Amino acid sequence: DAGVTQSPTHLIKTRGQHVTLRCSPISGHKSVSWYQQVLGQGPQFIFQYYEKEERGRGNFPDRFSARQFPNYSSELNVNALLLGDSALYLCASSSGQGALYEQYFGPGTRLTVT
Amino acid sequence: RKEVEQDPGPFNVPEGATVAFNCTYSNSASQSFFWYRQDCRKEPKLLMSVYSSGNEDGRFTAQLNRASQYISLLIRDSKLSDSATYLCVVNHSGYALNFGKGTSLLVTP
């Protein structure tokens, strides 16, 4: 079975631009979470969506937004890019919503902002 | 105080050695606990969930001490392929995983 897929794998943008990252969860999984990982740090939680509704939001500015579609895929949007947004953006899927559900990560999108 | 704290290492050990990683967490309401493994420039991969009774998966043993808010991972008979960063992960919100910075392991021939 296919795991979590993300696109694109790499992206280079300039400051002030907008970016959209995409994620498809494992088949049958209804929950998608987004994380940001900067070099040398563990991933930081951005959003979780379950059954197309936002279930949790991390400490990120309003420039970050996301949505989940009826097929449970998800998009992460970042507006007005800053140099500090350069990071690996990870999507994780789980079969349900709650602490006991294990989250499985996709390969990530590496975003570079110049 | 960070929510999840780990010794960053690096831990350099010879093949066949036993190595232990420790992790502490600050939120006593934490509900679930995990160890993930991350290879350089790759995504984190779930190594194992950690239960209060302790659990073992082959050469890997994880322990949880809720009273001390402490989690450990023991790797026996280290292999070259075990070289990676090991991330201690806690979930106290019900949705967000809280990651430590990771502990770097290098297994040498």
In tens digits, chain A (114 residues) has pLDDT values of: 689 999 999 999 999 999 999 999 999 999 999 999 999 999 999 999 999 999 999 999 999 999 999 999 999 999 999 999 999 999 999 998 888 899 999 999 999 999
Residues of B in contact with A32 (CB under 8 A): none
Cα A63 to Cα A47, A56, A71, A80, distances in angstroms:
13, 16, 25, 7
- Asked if residue A75 lies in contact with residue A22, where contact means CB atoms within 8 angstroms, the answer is yes
| pLDDT score, position A1 | 64
Write out pLDDT tens, residues B56-108: 999 999 999 999 999 999 999 999 999 999 999 999 888 899 999 999 999 99
**Interface probe, candidates A23, A100, A105, A110, chain B, greatest B C-beta count within 10 A:** A105
Nearest to B25 by CA among B54, B61, B64, B52: B64
Q: In whole angstroms, what is the distance from residue A99 CA to residue A105 CA?
A: 16
* Whether A36 contacts chain B with CB within 8 A: no
Choose, out of B3, B48, B97, B103, the residue to mutate when testing the contact with A (most A CBs < 10 Å): B97
Of the candidates A42, A88, A98, the beta carbon closest to that of B101 is on A42
User: What whole-number percentage of chain B has pLDDT above 90?
Assistant: 84
- Inter-chain residue contact B46 with A45, CB threshold 8 Å: no
pLDDT at position A99 is 85
